[in-house]
Amino acid sequence: MNIKALFAVLFIGIILFWAVEDMPAFGDPEAPATQYTGELYVRSVLPDIGIENIVTAILASYRGFDTLGEVVVIFTAGISVVLLLRRGERL
């Protein structure tokens, strides 16, 4: 049983280490993740929005509706915990 588990773990681990070689290097400008939309955002955040932080610009302005949904999810989670754990009391 344990031998089989160890074998499975080693097998999957070797496959993962084998796949790491094909990953792009850290900070590689030729990597696919930095080539298309990433470069577009880096170029257009400052003229479009005028703030320096690209992450906040994407989070709050380009993906503003998504972030509104996240806030509503957190609000719903808080209300759900109140309804489940504080049963029968007034809010």
Partner 1 sequence: MKENVVIRTISRFLVPFIQVYALYVIVHGALGAGGGFQGGVVFAASFILMIIAFDLPYVRQRFNYKWIVICSVLGVTIYATIGLLCLIPSGNYLEYGAIEAALGIPHLHGYLIDAVEVGIGITVMAAMTSIIYDISNKGGESS
Q: Which residues bind partner 1 (CB under 8 A)?
A: 48-53, 55-57, 59-61, 64-65, 67-68, 70-72, 74-75, 77-79, 81-82, 85-86, 91
- C-beta of 58: minimal distance to partner 1 in Å? 11
Nearer to partner 1, 14 or 86 (CB): 86
- Cβ proximity to partner 1: between 29 and 47 the closer is 47
Q: How far is CA 45 from CA 14, 26, 28, 30, in A?
A: 41, 23, 21, 21
Q: What is the CA radius of gyration of the chain?
A: 23
